[in-house]
Amino acid sequence: MASAALEAENITRRYRSSGRGVEGVSLSVAPGEVLGLVGPNGSGKSTLLRVLSTAIAPDSGAFRVCGLDGLRERRKVRARLGIMVDRPTHYGDLSGWANAYLFARAYGVPEEKADRALRGLFEHFGLAEYRDEKAKTYSYGMAKKLALIEALAHEPAVLLLDEPSLGLDYTSRLAYQRKLREAAENGCAVLLASNQVDEVEALCDRVVFLHRGRAVAEGTPEGLVSSLEGLRRVVAALRNPVPYAEVGEVPGVRRVVPEGRGLVVHCEDRPGIVAGVVGAIVRCGGDITGLSVERPTLEDVFARLTGEALRGEDEA
């Protein structure tokens, strides 16, 4: 794809110790496009981003960033990337400002431009009053915001973001989403790894599902969700997990997926079916603490494709 800012072809990288990683993954991101990378923990999202950031080499495959070979021109590739990992690390004894300034200058941003850009970003992300405090005193959410600042300050051509909103409060999430949209509008290509389906549906132009290291589907959020037309999701929060085989036998129920301590039931959109689902859950011994009927989401598409939940109990 000649116009792609980021293009990966048949990337494979497996870890010998666990066997996990990615296998044969191909994708492309055009300038100004936001591509969502969605999959459960252990599906290979972080591994793929580490390969594309040049942090680790693939076992096989190739990728290009702004036309540059990701294996042979690593230094030039890195200069065009903005990278945010899930668990960022900083120089703890330096202030937040000093960390960000160091990153910006390392990417070749002139002194005055770096100062101007960082002032705007620290203000945007609500860190201006904490800029002179040591990074080791920052909370997890503050460290995530500092990492976002570092990824954005040099105006990269390609952004690689691993669970960027995890740990952010509501206001900070809105600030991050506004800044991401702004970057895309200015031509930045964004690869966003996230399990926050509401965020992915709101921000991403296209989505790639990863399952056990392989890409299993690709499309627009609207197109993927519309494949479940005529279905509804009944979400039952339970006090404790229960056996749920009987729920799957209710006429019109297509699939039952455990999520945390509750159940997500994919069923036909027809009269009386919610009552049937509730009755079956109660007969199974379920103590329902909350119930909602919703339109399908990307989580439901993933469950249909793989038979597995997108998020585990600790994420639900």
* pLDDT score recorded for residue 2: 44
Instruction: Tell me which DSSP letter residue 135 carries.
Output: G
Give me the CATH number covering residue 258: 3.30.70.980
Query: Tens of pLDDT along 158-197?
Result: 999 999 998 899 999 999 999 999 999 999 999 999 988 9
Residue 151: alpha-carbon gap to chain centroid: 16
Say if residue 181 is in the same domain as residue 241: no
Asked whether residue 170 is assigned to any structural domain, the reply reads yes
Say if residue 110 is in the same domain as residue 152: yes
Say if residue 129 is in the same domain as residue 202: yes
Query: Tens of pLDDT along 34-89?
Result: 999 999 988 999 999 999 999 999 999 999 999 999 999 999 999 999 999 888 89
Say if residue 111 is in the same domain as residue 133: yes
Say if residue 280 is in the same domain as residue 133: no
Say if residue 12 is in the same domain as residue 105: yes
* pLDDT score recorded for residue 200: 95
Q: Are 74 and 54 in contact (CB under 8 A)?
A: yes
pLDDT band at 314 (very low <50, low <70, confident <90, very high): very low
Q: Looking at the predicted structure, is the pLDDT value of residue 313 above 80?
A: no
Question: Domain containing 28: what range?
Answer: 6-220
* pLDDT score recorded for residue 167: 87
Asked whether residue 306 is assigned to any structural domain, the reply reads no
Q: Tell me the C-alpha distance between 37 and 8, whole Å.
A: 13
DSSP SS3 for 163 = coil
Say if residue 283 is in the same domain as residue 173: no
Global pTM reads 0.87
> Which of 175, 199, 220 finishes a domain?
220
DSSP SS3 for 43 = coil
pLDDT band at 1 (very low <50, low <70, confident <90, very high): very low
Mean pLDDT on 125-146: 96
Q: Are 295 and 229 in contact (CB under 8 A)?
A: no
Give me the CATH number covering residue 58: 3.40.50.300
> Which of 185, 220, 255 finishes a domain?
220
Higher pLDDT, 268 or 309: 268
Say if residue 149 is in the same domain as residue 201: yes
Strands in the chain per DSSP E: 6-14, 21-29, 34-38, 60-65, 68-69, 81-84, 158-162, 189-193, 206-211, 214-219, 231-238, 253-259, 262-268, 288-294
Say if residue 200 is in the same domain as residue 252: no
Say if residue 271 is in the same domain as residue 164: no
Asked whether residue 302 is assigned to any structural domain, the reply reads no
Strand partners, 235: 264, 292
Question: Rounded to a whole number, what is the distance in angstroms from the first to the last CA of the chain?
Answer: 37
pLDDT band at 312 (very low <50, low <70, confident <90, very high): low
Beta strand pairing status for 68-69 and 60-65? antiparallel
Q: Are 250 and 267 in contact (CB under 8 A)?
A: yes
Asked whether residue 301 is assigned to any structural domain, the reply reads no
Q: Looking at the predicted structure, is the pLDDT value of residue 300 above 60?
A: yes
Domain count, the chain: 2
